[in-house]
Amino acid sequence: HAAEAQRTDLMTITRHVLNEQSRHPESRGDFTILLSHIVLGCKFVASAVNKAGLAKLIGLAGETNVQGEEQKKLDVLSNEVFVKALVSSGRTCVLVSEENEEAIFVDPALRGKYCVCFDPLDGSSNIDCGVSIGTIFGIYMIKDKDNVTLEDVLQPGTNMLAAGYCMYGSSCTLVLSTGNGVNGFTLDPSLGEFILTHPNIKIPKKGKIYSVNEGNAKNWDGPTAKFVEKCKYPQDGSSPKSLRYIGSMVADVHRTLLYGGIFLYPADQKSPNGKLRVLYEVFPMSFLMEQAGGQSFTGKQRALELAPAKLHDRSPIFLGSYDDVEEIKALYASES
Ligand code: AHM
Ligand code: MG
């Protein structure tokens, strides 16, 4: 039989973004340059994550090297790589990282018009057992790069220009939206390039999976408890939903995006604002969900309409398939 076809026309992430940008000539390649620096950070982390188990085995992580310097933990190292890559792109003026208490204002000589909010290595408690982890990022445009203030960073998610995540799992997948749908790219390790493998991702309108840390159930509010009860004991004759929870937001959201369903990190009595951070967890994932045809809700409002007051603010979050999020919205509406 015929030899397996070899693809010869490779749609790399750079080529894809350049194509998309030809519709916005005013951005003159700046966004493409910024993205290529983010991609470099992701490749570095992918490579470091792949070696993490090995590094431990041969006694590198957390120990002192020959120069007497302590080896950096993977999340600290990833953060440094992203900060340096973003600053050196010359396209950013302010950065917000989960790893840094304060916003990082870029030296005026290297300033560009973008603000990037990111979590360099989310789910890092999963590293030591080899479970998927990821990088999450959201990108804004700043009005005046020469007079950038903290207020410029605390914008509602509806102002976001682009968002994405990179998942370091059984394969390394980068999912990106520049406000024109969602596309997924998989790293071809032999080429060192992200290749378009999941064009125009649309989340199923309704899903069969719910994803939540049920260990917090005793502290949940009424609507969350009712919703999960309905997932397990549906009253309308439908089948119960399956539960899948990895405890790594990127992996849980990635599965939700591809298979449908709902991911929730609700408020509870112990954490009235939930756990996940608005700027670099809730906003980027909500942007992607909406761009894929799903929804994202906080229990009170559309998640992207939140206006964070502080850099590391948290919010409850329910995101996923359109119909599933409608259900939780109805439960909150009937409560108030
Ligand atoms: P981290 O930023 O400390 O890694 O925590 C964020 C992670 C998310 O990836 C995940 O969705 C959530 O914490 C899981 O929390 P929990 O262990 O409470 O279920
Ligand atoms: Mg995090």
Q: What is the pLDDT of residues 289-309, one digit of tens each?
A: 999 999 999 999 999 999 999
Q: Ligand 1 pocket: which of 121, 248, 264 to mutate (most atoms <8 Å of CB)? A: 248
Enter the tokens of residue 331. 């439960």
Give the pLDDT band of residue 163 (cuts 50, 70, 90): very high
Confidence at residue 127, expressed as pLDDT on a 0 to 100 scale = 84
Confidence at residue 70, expressed as pLDDT on a 0 to 100 scale = 55
DSSP code for 186: E
Instruction: Give the number of the atom of ligand 1 that is nearest the alpha carbon of residue 126.
Output: 4
Cα-to-centroid distance, 76 and ligand 1 (Å):
17
| H/E segment holding residue 265 | strand 262-265
* Average pLDDT value over all residues in the chain: 92
- Closest ligand to C-alpha of residue 131 is 1
Instruction: Give the number of the atom of ligand 1 that is nearest the alpha carbon of residue 247.
Output: 14
Confidence at residue 69, expressed as pLDDT on a 0 to 100 scale = 53
Tell me what ipTM this predicted complex has: 0.97
Query: Residue 204 in contact with residue 213, Cβ under 8 Å?
Result: no
Residue 53 has pLDDT above 80, yes or no: no
Dihedrals φ, ψ of 323, to 5°?
A: -65, -35
Enter the tokens of residue 216. 């917090």
Cα-to-centroid distance, 280 and ligand 1 (Å):
13
Residue 3 has pLDDT above 60, yes or no: no
- Percent of the chain past pLDDT 90, that is, above it, reads 81
Q: Is the CB of 138 under 6 A from ligand 1?
A: no
Confidence at residue 73, expressed as pLDDT on a 0 to 100 scale = 84
Q: Is the CB of 271 under 6 A from ligand 1?
A: no
Instruction: Give the number of the atom of ligand 1 that is nearest the alpha carbon of residue 248.
Output: 9
